[in-house]
A and B are shown apart, each in its own frame.
Chain A
């Protein structure tokens, strides 16, 4: 028996479509929206945020850059003429910022759902007319309701993100993709808790566009109104 032809045969076997290697990510037939971050796309199955599946984003504090992480994908969907929905957002959206991010405001729906966030979400997913639904469900939403949402999302081309608290990271969920966000050193740390395919090894540190100047922090008093005035006085003197 010669050992030489074996590698060729192995390569042939590995090239077959129905052979899956344990160290590669599952290739899904579903379409995905490129996230705009190459490092993240490489780690997400399908090469982007999945459409037609729930994505859970676990984050406790606002203002880490969690929405900016999604903005490239959202603006791409909005530019293609899609409708976006924010269901029960925790704060008020500030229109100039959303417009500056490239979203069409006339197709950005804000639903103040109160205690019916899950129902609204299900309706929005089931109608199939939305490209993206971002929802902030109540903390008490149960696995059954999540399961219903996943079923409603399946087979649709809607990018669906549920924002949930970090404390639920250990609780199982029917969402095929779960991402935990935390603040890194000047960057956003993205930890993929669950995805299709092999588990992710370590958190990614993504650089997200942030306002202001990060390199040089200005100390408060020098720029407070009183401070500015005294500086001006000093300049005149």
Chain B
């Protein structure tokens, strides 16, 4: 098998390798690997789960999609065909296709590179009748035998009496013929979406720049999206395992703020992560694994067209987190602690807030909107503390004495004993200051 560029140079299947290399010295030759072809077909089947839940594999390279039940959803057979072909091209698979009422008919027409849509059986039968016997994939001796009879087209074969034909070429081919024509039932073995998603891809060339992985990743994420659709799931976290050329493995974990099944969103997040990733060694293979999945809540679509919804706050935060780091984008939460520096906690957006509901009783005395990261020592002139001028104390002292339990622990606020005051300076700035054994400190701003 060869690609378009090689075919233009005159290379074709069945040539000797030396002949092919003579025709096109730049030819990249690789061994055919049935296992990898099989896994590629399975990943493509996963991807096709977005179009129809009923599909079946027809190895080595065929995929049958039952689209009769989904025509109304997609708005016509042309639309669905266009979507499938566009998706295959996006993943850089070249396709031969056909639409027909019987599975075998569709397969033979596709193998003959028909690229036609036949929704009615008679039209399909006319098209099938014109096909050469070679497209059926029957054993060579059967095809040769038929040719020696002078039977070149399937149509010639179909008009012959069945019993005589059976005696000459065996039951299998004749049954195939009847199935293709729709005269025998042809049940297909449905493709079962795997219980756990894990898809593997070998890169055709070593990749040294992380950004270049986005393209290969696209195929994997396309398969993941189809699999999620097929199983009616949403993914909360998945990981991309990279195999380096020195055999080492590394993993890139993608975590979503809310469970999602949207390929565009996956890819945007992947690009953000890849733009920050430094590869230790060139990458040979990728494996995508869905780590945490949740089942999709049922939802009805709107009856009338709604204006397209925006991306939404959570999806946006996810991208910010990918670029700035998880810790840089957080929502606030209250903690029941009297020490001001301990009263605020940061949470990941969209975490479960059930536990933070037990909020502190509201303080009766005022609390400032802003706290300084570290209390700032204030000078003292005469009797009053100074901060851009003498501070005027405007409230009674509020004694906070708390925290003996984490005294001496690393990073803890420790035991504090402070008298807090609301104060104002001549510039009109309202400050929250405290006095402890070491003197006056500025701790917050009433902004």
Contact = CB atoms under 8 A, between A and B. Distances in A.
Interface residues of B, number: 67
A219 B383 contact: yes
Interface string A194-237: 00000000000000001111100111110111001000000000
Contacts of A27: none
Nearest to A83: B313
Interface string A1-45: 000000000000000000000000000000000000000000000
B188 interface: no
A183 interface: yes
Nearest to A128: B310
Contacts, number: 202
Contacts of A61: 388, 427-429
A107 B315 CA distance: 14
B330 A109 contact: yes
B328 A113 contact: yes
Nearest to A119: B323
B378 to A, nearest CB: 11
Interface stretch (B1-9, B69-77, B273-281, B352-360): B352-360
A198 B109 CA distance: 73
Interface residues of A, number: 59
A119 B394 CA distance: 41
Q: Which of A105, A111, A126, A128 is most buried by chain B, counting CB atoms within 10 A of its CB?
A: A105
Given A116-B323, A212-B366, A224-B397, 19 more contacts: A62-B370, A64-B430, A91-B370, A94-B368, A94-B371, A95-B333, A95-B343, A95-B344, A96-B343, A108-B332, A111-B328, A114-B324, A130-B316, A183-B427, A210-B446, A211-B422, A212-B422, A220-B393, A223-B393
Interface of B: 310-317, 319-320, 323-324, 327-335, 340, 343-347, 349, 353, 356, 359-360, 362-363, 366-373, 383-385, 388, 391-397, 419, 421-422, 424, 427-431, 435, 444-447
Interface of A: 61-68, 83, 89-101, 105-114, 116, 119-120, 123-124, 126-130, 182-184, 210-214, 217-221, 223-225, 228
7 contacts: A95-B333, A97-B369, A114-B324, A123-B316, A212-B366, A219-B392, A223-B396
